[in-house]
């Protein structure tokens, strides 16, 4: 079925194999077992897909491997701070959670001079990798990601090389990273909605990243080696959308408002990506409607949500 150029995919063996095969996870991770799919959860569509204003979109049922919706899903575009999902993934392959990293002036300056979001770190503070990963993923701290790359590259250039190597190993053929935070400089970084959904699927299979992604608020108590920090997740679906798991927000002028989101519903895990929305709040509203609609597809129950059509193609 196709409306306005959007493809709504039926579940095929080829699609399932494409989306589920060959996705590596960090060595410490325990991949989540796929829930049993109820017999009733076949291909019945109970309503039209909700309207999506974002330039690029993709929605996947990772339990069955069935793509539910695609809008320019393989188009290469900037993804802003969604980049930090790969940063966190690589750090967990290189570091121990209890390793301690000392923040220096360059880390703080990097966020400040680029007018980037930060975790409000100060030079001289010492925090664990566990703490800094929360600082990367919740407030989207460019200071925290810079510190981790500096230590575990070592240095930005070597760390970015590890990010691109990881992307190749995961089969993210439409992805190229140029930095650890998605900032416009250096330019040239890009990915696709389909690739970012694949990456999110892998990340959520890691219990550490799953725990961080789905944390609404994280507090670091003051100690002799660092100040107190409280970080709130920028993903507004958490605590408001049933089964929400995060994953990451992003924004730059070039990328627009971006969102990778996921939720567990009725024994299924849905992962979606929205790139290039012109309005911040709308990406969360759209994600919520898409998750409700996705739930209808596996239960065969129309919840009465807003229906709509999409434009563009995969």
Cβ–Cβ under 8 Å, residues 279 and 311: no
Comparing CA positions, the residue from 249, 264, 258, 314 lying closest to residue 294 is 264
Q: How many CA atoms within 13 Å lie on the side-chain side of 140?
A: 22
Here the tokens at position 128 are 């664990």
Query: Residue 154, Cα to own-chain centre: how many angstroms?
Result: 24
For the stretch 130-157, what's the b/e string if a residue is b when 16 or more beta carbons lie within 10 angstroms of its beta carbon? bbbbbbbbbbbbbbbbbbbbbbbbeebe
pTM value?
0.83
Task: Tell me which of 55, 71, 81, 145 is the catalytic residue.
Answer: 81
For residues 228-234, give the mean pLDDT: 98
Residue 274 has pLDDT above 80, yes or no: yes
Helix ranges (DSSP H) in the chain: 13-20, 83-94, 105-113, 129-137, 142-152, 156-169, 193-204, 207-213, 280-299
214 annotated active-site: no
Task: Tell me which of 55, 71, 75, 140 is the catalytic residue.
Answer: 140
Give me the pLDDT at residue 35, please.
40
Here the tokens at position 270 are 């849905």
For residues 90-99, give the mean pLDDT: 98
75 annotated active-site: no
Task: Tell me which of 55, 71, 84, 198 is the catalytic residue.
Answer: 84
Lowest mean pLDDT: which of 19-23, 73-77, 234-238? 19-23
Distances (CA, A) of 88 to 91, 175, 270: 5, 16, 21
Here the tokens at position 241 are 């959308």
118 annotated active-site: no
Give me the pLDDT at residue 96, please.
98
Q: How many residues are listed for the chain in this entry?
A: 314
């Amino acid at each position: 079925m196709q409306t306005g150029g959007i493809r709504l995919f039926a579940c095929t063996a080829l699609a399932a194999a494409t989306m589920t095969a060959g996705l590596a996870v960090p060595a410490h991770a325990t991949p989540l077992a796929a829930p049993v799919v109820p017999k009733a959860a076949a291909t019945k569509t109970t309503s039209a897909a909700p309207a999506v204003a974002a330039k690029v979109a993709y929605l996947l049922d990772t339990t069955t491997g069935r793509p539910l919706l695609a809008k320019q899903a393989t188009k290469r575009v900037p993804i802003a701070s969604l980049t930090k999902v790969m940063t966190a993934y690589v750090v967990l392959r290189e570091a121990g959670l209890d390793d301690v990293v000392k923040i220096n002036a360059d880390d703080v300056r990097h966020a400040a001079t680029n007018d980037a979001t930060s975790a409000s770190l100060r030079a001289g503070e010492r925090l664990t990798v566990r703490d800094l990963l929360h600082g990367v993923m919740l407030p989207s701290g460019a200071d925290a990601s810079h510190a981790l790359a500096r230590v575990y590259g070592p240095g930005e250039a070597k760390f970015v090389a590890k990010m691109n190597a990881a992307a190749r190993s995961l089969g993210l053929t439409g992805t190229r990273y140029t930095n650890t935070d998605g900032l416009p400089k250096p330019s040239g970084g890009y990915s696709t909605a389909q690739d970012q959904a694949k990456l999110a699927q892998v990340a959520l299979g890691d219990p550490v990243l799953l725990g961080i992604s789905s944390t609404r608020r994280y507090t670091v108590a003051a100690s002799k080696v660092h100040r107190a920090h409280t970080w709130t997740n920028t993903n507004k679906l958490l605590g408001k959308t049933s089964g929400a798991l995060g994953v990451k927000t992003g924004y730059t002028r070039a990328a627009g408002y971006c969102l990778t989101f996921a939720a567990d519903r009725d024994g299924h895990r849905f992962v979606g990506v929205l790139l290039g929305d012109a309005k911040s709040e709308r990406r969360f509203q759209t994600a919520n409607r898409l998750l409700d609609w996705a739930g209808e597809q596996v239960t065969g129950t129309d919840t009465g949500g807003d229906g709509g059509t999409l434009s563009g193609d995969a």
